[in-house]
Amino acid sequence: MTSTKLFRSFALTGFAAAALLAGGVAVSAQMAAPSTVAVGNNVDCAGYVQRAPINTTNRLVGGQEEQEQFSYAQNNIVYINAGANRGVQPGMQYSVVRPRGQVNTPWTTKGSLGFYVQEVGMVEVIRVKREVSVAIVRVSCDTLLLGDVLQPWQERVAPVHGPRPAFDLFADPSGKAVGRLFMARDMQEMITRDQIVYVDLGREDRANIGDYLTIFRPLGDGNLMSLPPESVAARSSGYESRVYRGGRFSNQAARKKGDEARGTVQTTHDAKRDRPAGLRKVVGEGVILNVRERTATVLITRTAQEIHTGDFVEIQ
């Protein structure tokens, strides 16, 4: 290879490395920039539980293809029972919701939390008649059904997700409001990251959109299965040597109290009496997306293990 060609080769290699380095810096800067904690269905169709009555005047009452289908999705044409007589105009947008009924749960001490409202999509009016309007389905998080209720569309913006400290599995209580995770969207019971849940902390508890919650269980509670006995009796048979035929004594015997192990059995239950109250197991973290009177809609952001309905939550 000539010296000229060699120089060109080194120059091109250096240029490529510089470009890659510059690109890497740009990517790193982009990744470090703050972003919203939720997008898409987790913003527009997270659902909520509320106590205040909902206006059910405007509803879906028909579909252009209702002879062939009874459910509707994105880009389908539907009819709503409101037209110029109720001030509807072309371009107006409506959130499509489905009230599911009163929430009855053992995971709260507040009594009635209200009723669950599923958010299923959004429609936009494309033509207005006197008593009816034609709309196109712009967003469908679930299938839309005739009878679904229309609410004025409100643009939602998820909280900004900036740099967060390392997930502290041994975080001390914050002293702020504590509640329970009483339900998850789609009736899930084993919950993980990026899923939607509902907690019984609301405006009355000074919960706000963007607040982070620690999800935890008090130590010693919340076992999903029965644990086997921690030890066997001191005179259980089957543990003696078959060769030397030792006495009926098990080296798996229970722990005994006293300096010479002559006391009563030392149980795990006894041992727990000597520890301070309030020890807990942190299992996850979430951020509030929507707040109602007694409840909040939460997105799970970090997990140490699976989360369950019934877990405790605390405002950080």
| 7 domain-assigned | no
The pTM (predicted TM-score) of the whole model is 0.78
Question: Mean pLDDT across the chain, nearest whole number?
Answer: 83
Contacting residues for 284 by C-beta, under 8 A, at least 6 apart: 215, 300, 302, 303, 304, 305, 307, 311
Same domain as 298, residue 189: yes
As a whole number, mean pLDDT of residues 223-232 equals 59
Residue 276 is given by DSSP the state P
| 67 domain-assigned | yes
How would you classify the pairing of strands 71-72 and 144-145? antiparallel
Domain boundary (123, 152, 181) is at: 152
| 270 domain-assigned | no
Chain CA centroid to CA 196, Å: 3
Range of the domain at 169: 160-223+277-315
Reported as a single tens digit per residue, the pLDDT across 125-134 is: 999 999 999 9
Contact 199, 213 (CB under 8 A): yes
Compute how many other C-beta atoms are within 10 angstroms of the C-beta atom of residue 100. Answer: 12
Q: What is the CATH number of the domain that holds 296?
A: 2.40.30
- For residue 20, the model assigns a pLDDT of 39
Same domain as 210, residue 297: yes
Reported as a single tens digit per residue, the pLDDT across 46-73 is: 999 999 999 999 999 999 999 899 999 9
Same domain as 54, residue 128: yes
Q: Which residue has the higher pLDDT, 284 or 248?
A: 284
Q: Which helix (H) or strand (E) holds 183?
A: strand 178-184
Reported as a single tens digit per residue, the pLDDT across 149-196 is: 999 998 877 788 778 889 999 999 999 999 999 999 987 888 999 999
